[in-house]
Amino acid sequence: MEPLSEKNDLKQRCAAIRVLAEQEKVPLSEEIVLCLARCPHEPDSFKIKRILAQLQTYAKLLDAELTMELAGGLFWEELWSQDMFGNIYNSESNMKDSPSEPKEYAPFFKRITEFKSRRQKEISEGKNDYNIITALLRQSDEVRLHSRFIYSLINPEGKHYQGSLFLKMFLDVIGIKDFNYSTAIVKRERENIDLYITDGTLHIIVENKIHAIDQEKQLDRYIKNIISNNISESLSTEELYAKIFVVYLTLDKRTPSDKSLVDWSICSDDQHIGSYLKYIGEGKYKDYELHYLNITYCNHIRKWLNKVLEGSKNLCNLPFSIESYQEVIGRLIKVKGSNLMTIEEHLLDDKNIDDLKLYLDIAKKSESVKGEILLKFFNNCKDSVTSAELNLCQQISSADHLKKLERYICNKTKCKKWFETGISKEHYIGTYFGIDDNIQFGIMAASKNLHAVLICDENIYNKLCAENLNVDKNYQKRDWKKQKAFAYYSKDLKHNIFDNIAAPTVITRLLDKNSKEFKEILCELLSLAEIVIEFNNSCCPD
């Protein structure tokens, strides 16, 4: 088979790959054929044959798109085309019991592919995870969702028009008796108390804690507010304390912090039914006690909602609202997953611990592979701009040797570190071009997006604009704190491929020199090349 140059039609390369695959007896999907056809190696090369041999294990098993999603950004199609299996499976493989051969991953991908097929079938049958409540609010929103929803039901004046019915169910579940429902009042956010319930005699403070931490003197302050607002000559302070209930509502039955309780301590003994709060500070209130209840969403709120649902069967649309909230609670306390299991839920299922180990092994290597992909993109840009075929750029050469650019020149290590977080993350790396030391241009990965950059001092930039050299008005002077070696102007190209590195179409288009996206970036670079050449000619005429 005669080698095919890169200028040959893609269809011819696909045909050549199919012939070679048939000779090697490797069944390939059309997606893989297309991927291999885009490979820079010739179809009859040793590397392509080696890739085909490796693909024998995978051809009937891999769902490439799903694999890309699952592997935290590993671009499998590009890995195949570049023969980069070693980068994933063997390099950096220091984990104990880590699979050392690609074939050990095949059953894993098969199971995940089957999982995706089942999930798609459920979707086509109408299964979904839509919930009207979580569509509007975060499921962990204590104030705007949970306190508000509970209040809407226990408030005797609520729009359910059932009076104190749901309040009675609530107090029955948490164990508060002798409450006069005919004089019941429920307030939300009164004196910052999440829920305040009173009949004029009993005073119930409900503090709702999902993920928020206690504030300084929070419960101590609430108790003192109740005392100061309800003290009277007919009721001693000690008697009033005995009428107060502090109800602490949480996901996991955690207790209030000392900084919230201050001079109160949670106690329990044989003389009391359940726990109580005892004043342990100094002064005349020493040894005063009040009621304390620790309730949870998992136990008490779910029981109460079941009672409410049973009592509202004939109330038109109310059951739907209750069921929607029950679903939110189920997700919040992890007793109910999505109606449609996600890949994350599948991996975290105890039955799939082996799959989770394999996933983590693959994901561990993703930064290296992402770095390889980013470096390849920069190298493609360099090759295209400095190509002798581009008459425009015959005067243009790589400026990556310049001392002032040294820290910002891309290499394998820096490209890998671009994907890290924290202090080790690299910023502002790329490849650059020019004619002399006065002005350069290039393509850079900044904090998030790709930027086309024009490197020069302000005087030169103003001269470029004054001489009407078609400098795009979208170029802005940058003052990025970590970059102080030189002044430059950049244009955000809006190609944020890095947060979505798993998206196969985006990466394919940026790595494929024939793609619309790559050509747009190249066009921007060539426009800068024109400006640099014209400026150089005006400064140094023949």
* CA pair distance 145, 131, nearest whole angstrom: 13
Whether the per-residue pLDDT at 41 is higher than 70: the answer is no
184 and 99 in a common domain = no
355/514 Cα distance (integer angstroms): 37
pLDDT of 300: 94
> Does the residue 409 lie in any domain?
yes
| Helix or strand (DSSP H, E) at 34 | helix 30-37
Token pair for 183: 């004089």
CA nearest neighbour of 385 among 283, 529, 243, 248: 529
DSSP 3-state assignment of 352? helix
Relative to beta strand 429-434, strand 193-198 is unpaired
Is pLDDT above 90 for 140? no
Higher pLDDT, 394 or 446: 446
Nearest residue to 511 via CA among 406, 423, 381, 415: 381
Tens-digit pLDDT profile for residues 231-268: 887 788 888 988 999 999 998 888 999 999 998 989 88
Verify that 103 and 185 share a domain, yes or no: no
Instruction: Kindly report the average pLDDT of the chain as a whole number.
Output: 76
Query: How many whole angstroms separate alpha carbon 241 and alpha carbon 269?
Result: 18
The answer as to whether 131 is a domain residue is no
CB under 8 Å to 61, separation ≥6 — which residues? 106, 109, 110, 113
The reply to whether 3 falls in a domain is: no
d(CA 436, CA 404): 13
What does the pLDDT look like over 321-351, one tens digit per residue?
898 898 888 888 876 555 666 666 667 776 7
- Residues 169, 119 share a domain: no
**Do 371 and 353 lie in a common domain?**
no
Global confidence as pTM: 0.50
Rounded CA separation 335/100 (Å): 37
Q: Answer yes or no: is pLDDT of 34 > 90.
A: no
Asked whether 147 and 190 are in contact (CB, 8 A), the reply is no
Residues 205 and 305 in one domain: yes
Task: Kindly state whether residue 132 falls inside one of the protein's structural domains.
Answer: no
Using CA atoms of 529, 533, 539, 542 in order, give the dihedral in degrees to the nearest 10: 170
User: For the chain, how many structural domains are there in total?
Assistant: 3
Predicted confidence (pLDDT) per residue in 365-415, tens digit? 677 777 888 888 999 999 888 875 555 555 788 888 888 888 889 998 898
In percent, the amount of the chain with pLDDT more than 70 equals 69
**Judgement on whether residues 210 and 317 belong to the same structural domain of the protein:** yes
Backbone angles phi, psi at 492, to 5 degrees: -70, 120
pLDDT confidence of residue 460: 84
Q: What share of the chain is helix, strand, coil (3-state, %, to 5)?
A: 50, 15, 40
Query: Which pLDDT does position 97 carry in this prediction?
Result: 41
Q: Which of 354-368, 389-403, 416-430 has the highest mean pLDDT?
A: 416-430
Is the backbone of residue 462 left (phi > 0), alpha (psi -120 to 50) or beta? alpha
Q: How far is Cα 255 from Cα 164, in angstroms, rounded to an integer?
A: 29
Q: Is the pLDDT of residue 171 over 60?
A: yes
Same domain, 371 and 359: no
- Last residue of one domain, picked from the residues 285, 310, 332: 332
Range of the domain at 79: 10-125+346-364
Across the range 452-479, mean pLDDT stands at 80
Structure tokens at 196: 């305040």
Residues 149 and 246 grouped into a single domain: yes
Token pair 């409900």 in the structure block, residue: 206
Consecutive H or E run containing 266: strand 264-267
- H/E run at residue 248: strand 244-250
Residues 50 and 189 in one domain: no
Would you place residue 284 in the very low, low, confident or very high pLDDT band (cuts 50, 70, 90)? low
Pair (211, 174) in one structural domain? yes
**Is 339 part of a structural domain of the chain?**
no
At 197 the pLDDT is 97
Residues 63-112: tens digit of each pLDDT: 444 333 333 333 333 343 344 434 433 433 433 344 444 456 667 777 77
Please indicate, yes or no, if residue 340 is contained in any of the structural domains. no
pLDDT band at 223 (very low <50, low <70, confident <90, very high): very high
pLDDT at 438: 83
- Pairing outcome for strands 289-296 and 244-250: parallel
What is the structure's pLDDT at 185?
96
- Does residue 295 fall inside a structural domain? yes
- pLDDT for the residue numbered 4: 38
35 belongs to a structural domain: yes
Mean pLDDT for 11-21 is 77
pLDDT at 48 over 60: no
State whether 224 and 77 are in the same domain.
Answer: no
Q: Do residues 290 and 401 share a domain?
A: no
Domain boundary among 284, 309, 332: 332
pLDDT score at 181: 97
Rounded CA separation 537/529 (Å): 12
CB 428 within 8 A of CB 482: yes
Q: How high is the pLDDT of residue 67? A: 34
